[in-house]
Amino acid sequence: MSAITKEKKATIFTNFGGKAENTGSIEGQIALLTERINHISGHLKQNKKDFSSNRGLMQLVGKRKRLLTYLSKHNLTGYRQLIEKLGLRK
């Protein structure tokens, strides 16, 4: 059920983290989590009773929220640019 391939991960980290090898960047991690969250949400729209995937989705959302608060405390301009680029917090 892995929806994210190596190539897709590399493009996400290239777009948000600077380089494909920079997998530790906060912006790249948040973008990757957002991609996974969008994929699981689409799965849950079709399978409403899949409670284990729902729990996993809630964990991913919590992790993304923690990373976003860290980014907002340490790099406010980068936080605002990332929110705008990903289309979060409308």
**pLDDT tens string 1-58:** 467 899 999 999 999 988 888 889 999 999 999 999 999 999 999 999 999 999 999 9
Helices 26-46 and 76-86: angle between axes, nearest 10 degrees: 30
What would you measure as the largest C-alpha separation in the chain, in angstroms? Answer: 40
Confidence band of 90 (pLDDT split at 50, 70, 90): low
**pLDDT tens string 55-71:** 999 999 999 999 999 99
C-alpha 79/C-alpha 85 separation (Å) is 10
Q: Where are the chain's structural domains?
A: 6-86
Domain 6-86: give its CATH architecture. Answer: Orthogonal Bundle (1.10)
pTM: 0.90
C-alpha 38/C-alpha 13 separation (Å) is 17
Length of the chain, in residues = 90
- In this structure, which amino acid lies at residue 20? A
